[in-house]
């Protein structure tokens, strides 16, 4: 499972979601404005930029094409029916 915590009008968030879509990944997208308690938790963990991406084995923030590429190589491709 992939979770992407995003902010409105965030170019890094848009780029992350766009690249994920291009490589066949479908994250669960959560807007940070809807979970303010998580914003505080992320800040306490030193995560100070969006998006925050959480997978079963990794967590990162910001636009990370290297992480998305690695993730696309290990995740099964999701097929829309």
Domains of the chain by start residue, with CATH: 3-74 (3.40.30.10)
Is the overall model pTM greater than 0.85, yes or no?
yes
Q: Pick out the chain residues at pLDDT < 70.
A: 75-81
At 79 the pLDDT is: 45
> Does residue 42 sit in helix, strand or coil?
helix
User: Strand 3-6 relative to strand 28-31: parallel, antiparallel, unpaired?
Assistant: parallel
* Mean pLDDT (the chain, rounded): 91
Q: Tell me, what's the pLDDT at 73? A: 85
pLDDT in tens, 31-49: 999 999 999 999 999 999 9
CA torsion angle for 13, 40, 32, 50 (degrees, to 10)? 0
Residue from 59, 74, 64 nearest 24 by CA = 74
pLDDT of residue 77: 56
């Amino acid at each position: 499972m992939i979770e992407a915590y995003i902010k409105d009008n965030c170019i890094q968030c848009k780029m992350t979601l766009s690249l994920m879509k291009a490589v066949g990944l479908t994250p669960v997208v959560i807007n940070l404005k809807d979970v303010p308690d998580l914003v505080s938790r992320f800040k306490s963990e030193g995560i100070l930029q969006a998006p925050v991406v959480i997978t079963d084995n990794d967590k990162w923030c910001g636009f990370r094409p290297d992480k998305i590429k690695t993730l696309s190589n290990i995740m099964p491709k999701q097929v829309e029916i």
